Structure 1
Amino acid sequence: MSSDEEVREVEETNEVLFPEDRKINKIKNKEVRSRLFVKLKRQKRKAKIAEKKKRKEEGTNKPSKPTKTIESTREEDDTAFDKLDEEGNLEVRKDLENSEYAPYFARQYEPKVLITFSDNPAKKTMLFGRELQRIIPNALCRLRKRIPVKNIVESCNREGYTDILIINENMKQMNGLMVIHLPEGPTANFRLSSVRISKELRRKYQEISAHRPEVILNNFSTRLGNSVASMLAALFHYDPEFQGRRAVTFHNQRDYIFFRHHRYEFKKGEKGQKVGLRELGPRFTLKLRWVQSGVFDGKTAEYDWIISGRRHDLETSRRRFFL
């Protein structure tokens, strides 16, 4: 049978085709194989829709199975909150009561944040720092001017700052964010990636109001994750101004922390008032590298947690996460 006759026979057939019946893979003509596969896929899709419709009419439509992802099949962590017993929950409460951030959550002080950079920052890095200054209440953005981190810490302690953000870059590309909590730590270093400022998102810089934003921390489910979430939350004022309708979100997924900045918008529709989100920017992604118990010290520091440069040294599998 010639190729044209095969195609004509397929196009005239209305029954569902199967590869084993037609032996599509054995057809030498590439164009014929392609047409057969397209027709087969179309017919299978129609048959699936018809079967689903029939089950729905008969009331036997079963709920679809939940999709398996790396996140949903993550390995169990002994420090996860949902795995802790009564004694473990008591230890978590003690950790919170004795942590460096206990005075913040007790509202004993207002955060004051200094934002600085590595030496000779690129223009985009400086714009990113200025946008963080507008997002974080009571924050000040200043150039570093080759001042060592140790001297910055001492100066900030004298001036009453509570936290320091240092935006690092390599070859004019932002690649790191260091968060130092004052006066005695801890210090965390994050890998910084996927940075997009408001201009790149086609958002107007002037749209960011001066109201204090609401902070949303999502999916930090372990004791280490709780510490990191507390560090990020302590950068912002504990009393948000909800009339500004601004919200900043730190969403943890597979140990990647995604940052988004939105404003609530209310619109009147035919069925009533609708609520939407308008992204203001910037957006970026963080991944924890290490946590030091005190302020930054590159020589004699003690690490509470550190991830090795080699994946298999610490990460036993792709389904093990720490936050």
Structure 2
Amino acid sequence: MVKPKQNIDPEEAVVRHTPHDIKCKARRVLLSQKLRAQRKKAKESGRKERQKERQKLGEDGPAAQQPRTIESMRVADDTIVDEEDPEYQDEIELDEFSKYFEGKEPKTCITTNEKPGGKAVGFAKLFPRILPNAEYFPRQHFELSEIVKFCKNRDYTDLIVVNEDKGEVNTLMICHLPDGPTALFKVTSITMPDKIPGGGEMTNHKAELIVNNFTTRLGHTIGRMFASLFPQEPNFRGRRVCTLHNQRDFIFFRQHRYMFESKSKANLQELGPRFTLKLMSLQHGTFDTKSGEYIHLHKAGMDVDRKKFVL
């Protein structure tokens, strides 16, 4: 004798079964939707209750829940620096950038790879407009070791090399002179100033620099390297500000101008360019691919854990 099929109410099925217990795909989908709807309703109800309780009790009410983000779930890192630590203060007084922070004026040389295309040259020529006391030189057929020697003999404090591959800018090298270190960055998401909607024109004023969210020892080294490219005494009348913001080991560059509508209200006008950097390597000394000692070398396996950062 064949037993008649029983009609099970979906609400009751959600309680009695999990979707994995149901063989019928249509019913599994229905139960999954019911479960998600119930969880969403319970979550929203709990949020409203906590909000009412906070409004009723004030400071004695339950604290607002913080959203879970990749940054908030960051893997603990022993190299995170406390800037107030006396030991760290002693270290930075002796590092490669200490002379700059004692008042040495930056002087930067900018060049490209050999036989560059128009995009690499155009991108490289932006840096003399961004950085004070910076000059662009065509690469021609000089080796990098010769260029480093040239810069040292003429008291340049930094060398920036823009590299391209297949007509697209792909890396940026910054070599701090005379004794390094040398950093290599991958460059992505370049937007030139003329492509930015509502963008303004850059002036010759010395820009203010904001270096944000560099927390580890390696991150502080990179932050100080960027800071050594800019003047310690910016010209605030120009209202130019350059920002290097680190988020999940991606460094975002933006440049703006303050637009004061009144004494209490100001807007930002983006000047450009926009681009994103990712640190690929940092080595002691000036450029040396054969015997250089690496402080950091990015490897593919480092991207497996999305909650682990080096900067």
Structure 1 and Structure 2 fold alike (TM over 0.5) = yes
User: Does residue 55 in structure 1 map to residue 57 in structure 2?
Assistant: no
Within the candidate set 87, 110, 114, 1:115 is matched to 110
Q: Describe how 1:77-116 pairs up with structure 2 within 5 A.
A: 77-82=77-82, 89-107=85-103, 109-116=104-111
Deviation string 1:76-102 (CA, Å, 9 cap, x unpaired) is 1112124x9x9xx33322220111100
Change (3 A) 1:65 1:248: same
Query: 1:111 Cα deviation (Å)?
Result: 0.5
- Say if 1:92 and 1:223, in contact at 8 Å, map to a contact too: no
Relative to structure 1, is the Cα distance of residues 139 and 203 closer, same or farther in structure 2, using a 3 angstrom cutoff? Answer: farther
Decide whether aligned partners of structure 1 residues 21 and 128 sit closer, same or farther in structure 2, where only a CA change above 3 A counts. Answer: farther
**Shift in alpha-carbon separation, 1:246–1:59, aligned structure 2, 3 A:** same
Query: CA deviation digits over 1:99-122, x for unaligned, max 9?
Result: 110010011x21100111112222
* Aligned AA (1:112): K
1:181 aligns with 2:176: yes
Deviation of 1:299 (Å): 0.9
1:13-37 CA distance string (max 9 Å, x none): xxxxx973899x99x8xxxx9xx99
Please give the TM-score of this superposition, normalised by the length of structure 2. Answer: 0.80
Q: In structure 2, what is the Cα distance between the partners aligned to 1:138 and 1:176? A: 23
Could you list the per-position Cα deviations for residues 142-169 of structure 1 after superposition, in whole angstroms to 9, with x for gaps in the alignment?
2111211001001111111110000111
Change (3 A) 1:21 1:277: farther
TM superposition shift of 1:59: 2.8
Partners of 2:10 and 2:266 lie apart in 1 by 49
Distance 2:72 2:181 in 1: 31
RMSD over aligned CA atoms reads 3.1
- State the one-letter code of the partner of 2:56: G
**Structure 1 counterpart of 2:5:** none
**Cα drift, residue 124 of structure 1:** 2.5
Please give the alpha-carbon distance, in whole angstroms, between the structure 2 residues aligned to 1:126 and 1:106.
33
- Superposition map of 1:80-229 within 5 A: 80-82=80-82, 89-107=85-103, 109-203=104-198, 207-229=201-223
- 1:247–1:261 Cα contact (<8 Å) kept: yes
- Over the matched positions of the two proteins, sequence identity in percent amounts to 39
Matches of 1:184 and 1:53, distance apart in 2: 58
The amino acid that maps onto 2:204 is: A
Among 249, 256, 259, the residue aligned to 1:255: 249
Cα gap change, 1:57 to 1:137, in 2 (>3 Å) = closer
**What are structure 1's unaligned runs of at least 5 residues?**
1-17
Give the residue type in structure 2 aligned to 1:216: I
Match among 235, 239, 246 for residue 233 of structure 2: 239
Pair 1:56–1:144, CA change in 2 (3 A): same
Q: State the AA in 1 paired with 2:185.
A: F
Structure 2: stretches of 5+ with no match in the other structure: 1-8
The letter for the 1-side match of 2:157 is T
CA–CA separation in structure 2 for the residues paired with 1:58 and 1:227: 45
